[in-house]
Amino acid sequence: MSDAESLMWRLDKDPHLSSTFGTVSILDRPPDFDRLRARMERAIHDVPRLGWRVHPAPVTLSAPLWVDDPDFDIDQHVRRVAVPPPGDLRQVLDLASLIVLDPFDRSRPLWQFVVVEGLPDGRAALVQKMHHTITDGEGGVQMSLQYLDFERDAPDPPAITAALDAAPSPPPPTTVETLRDLLLGGIRLPIGIARQVHELLADPAAIPAASAATFDTVRGVLAQLTDVERARSPLWTQRSLRRRMEVVRAPFRETKDAATRLGGTLNTAFLTAAADAAARYHAELDAPVDELRATMAVSTRTAASGANAWSLARMMVPTGEMPIADRFRAIHEIAEAARSDSGGASLDTLAAVATALPTSVVTRLARQQAQTVDFATSNVRGAPMPMYITGAQLLENYPLGPLAGVAFNLTLLSYLGSLDMGVNIDAVAVAEPERLARALERSFKDLTGARVRRARRRAP
């Protein structure tokens, strides 16, 4: 595992910090289950991580290892259930929340697909569950091409032959072998980064002479770990393992056009609507708040990126009473500044430092940081054309991002002219989830109708 993957794996020791994410896809009919099962079994040869399990490192100074699962059974990962009448969307979302919340069997590969039948009008759903160590949201969209088609009657890919089979991974190293690699420098020693950080903190006079990379590491780590002020919401003060999923849809073109008209991007519009809905929620419950702390996942993906390539931008967003166009302009500036500042505290940087710390310390620090954030957001680009899953057309596609200790996570996945959003909610923190969903719908509607205010010309 990379340092970042190792960090996410270790944080799973605290169920509040789980990095499991999911997607609920609504289909016009049940997919051909046998073909889906065969497609996913074949996908393992093109995406080997789907057939790998995690092998704990024999020495805590090194990351866990990905190894082949010798007992891999596709039936443990691709399943089929049916909801009882009336088979409505609410039942599917409640089931999806339970599936995603349920911890993975750590002795098996970290993914699961569940076909849900019994929906009205012959429809079905597919609940996809995956651990963040396999890939991030953007990588997950690319991975979905293993089982998505561009036409309903697309032929299945060629069957796997012996020549195409991937070579088995070598057996995991023993404790002696791992210690030898450490002593010979055969693997990275993130503890060296931690030592640089410690030395610079002990002797601030040395900071000007430090390398730019080391200074950025110190600055980023300090910014994260010294920010211990609690989240700002007077309502979302508790955290629990009770989950509630809500979904929201908004038109893609109208929202993008509104963002352009207001001088920003679709991502700014998304974050603005989230902040506006949070403001509306608090005002309706007679608990107005001037600002809340939010996080925004920022992709750092390049052609050379691994399975996970992202960082978190943290920012205070205005939630006092104001026109939504004014809120948009303020958040645009705040988000741009936060995005540029997020590199020094990137996931890879923090993960490298965390590798040298005991898991108990890492989870305690992560929980402490989570308590400073009110809500999280993430935006993933999807397909602009119709997609199919073994004969069934995908109608709606709602992502479910990791909650990781905040009150709610709003994740957006664009698809076929729509912004499909899943809201993963801590049902104890946000006591009225339906109210929050309605607030989001109204905020997006207000945003698409917002106009740029122009100064009136005075008569001479």
Q: Residues 43-67: pLDDT tens digits?
A: 998 889 999 999 987 655 568 899 9
Indicate whether 178 pLDDT > 90. Answer: no
The tens digit of pLDDT for each residue in 214-227 reads 445 444 544 555 55
pLDDT of res. 93: 98
Q: Which residues, in sequence order, are CB contacts of 440 under 8 Å at separation 6+?
A: 248, 273, 274, 277, 410, 421, 423
Q: How many CA atoms lie within 13 A of 203 on its CB side?
A: 8
For the cut 80, the answer to whether the pLDDT of residue 164 exceeds it is: no
Read off the pLDDT of residues 399-455 as tens digits, 9 standing for 90 and up.
999 998 999 999 999 999 999 999 999 999 999 999 999 999 999 999 999 866 544
Residue 152 confidence (pLDDT) above 60: yes
- pLDDT at residue 77 greater than cutoff 80: yes
Beta bridge partners of 25: 126, 397
Region 371-392: mean pLDDT is: 93
C-alpha 325/C-alpha 342 separation (Å) is 25
- Read off the tokens for 358: 């005991």
As beta bridge partners, residue 125 has: 26, 116
Strands (E) in 83-179, as ranges, are: 111-117, 124-131
pLDDT at position 41: 93
Residue 247, helix vs strand vs coil: strand
Tokens encoding 341: 């500042």
Report the distance separating Cα 437 and Cα 3, nearest Å. Answer: 36
